[in-house]
Structure 1
């Protein structure tokens, strides 16, 4: 299981934009967000305003899903991660520092930072064989 997580983390470290899906139980919403991924907490850190539809949705329902994908037309090179988790207000100062170390220009906007604590990953990596899937689920004891 740990080896699977290492492969997923390696993929996520090479990218910086995720697609996020949220719902308020009536309507769905999707958006793209810059992220930094923290391997210690298995969390994305993102910036977003309280006025956005996705933040309004998570205030009613913090369960989210999303993707990070390598854009390619070459079938043999397809890679991507699907995830599910909980979208939470970020309180960890170390994670805030991590975000701003990757996106220092964001400091000028003084954004509100959020944490997406992951409980499920599915990595598709056709380089390992066509349709190869790697699954990781958070242990309920963590």
Structure 2
């Protein structure tokens, strides 16, 4: 993954994620997350019977945003992403608890299921790099990764 994108995501703690209900209506939720830059994975924990968990089981495609934990109103900076929530039995989910609990150790005491999002595309907007500057990272069809700059 692009280093600037990975560094930004690693510094943040909360994301807003959007899934789709059975009538194709968006449903958003906010959650704490952990990030695996090497594999391009985001982990979050939620109740297995929450509305979004039930919706994700029906349609695993999600999108979301990550903003800085400390907003600077003079500088636009943030992430937009698309991905797919993986089946918990998927090989890439084997370290989900480790990553999430390492980042959020108090979460060990809380009930819930850890979900894994396999990122397919990420766009970093960062006005400190110049107006309109964006870095786009995408996973290609064979699973490999590439980066495009705008």
Change (3 A) 1:16 1:89: farther
Q: Deviations 1:13-32 (Å, cap 9, x if unpaired)?
A: 11010000011241321110
Summarize deviations over 1:71-124 as a string: whole Å, max 9, x none: 2211xx221000000012445342311211111111111321010100000110
- 2:101 matched residue in structure 1: 100
RMSD (CA atoms): 1.4
Correspondent of 2:21 among 16, 24, 48: 24
Residue 72 (1) aligns with residue 69 (2): no
Tell me which residue corresponds to 1:14: 11
Superposed displacement of residue 40, structure 1: 1.6
* Contact 2:47 2:111 (8 Å CA) reproduced: no
The alpha-carbon distance between structure 1 residues 89 and 111, as it changes in their structure 2 partners (threshold 3 A), is farther
Instruction: Mark the runs of 5 or more structure 1 residues left unpaired by the alignment.
Output: none
Contact 2:97–2:114 (CA under 8 A) maintained in structure 1: yes
**Contact 2:48/2:112 (8 A) holds in 1:** no
Structure 1 counterpart of 2:47: 49
Q: Which runs of 4+ in 1 moved over 6 A?
A: none
Task: Tell me which residue corresponds to 1:35.
Answer: 33
Task: Write 1 or 2 for the structure with the bigger share of helix.
Answer: 1
**Structure 2 unmatched runs, 5+:** 144-150
2: CA distance, partners of 1:40 / 1:89: 19
- In the alignment of these two chains, the number of paired residues is 137
Query: What is the alpha-carbon distance in structure 1 between the residues aligned to residue 28 and residue 99 of structure 2?
Result: 25
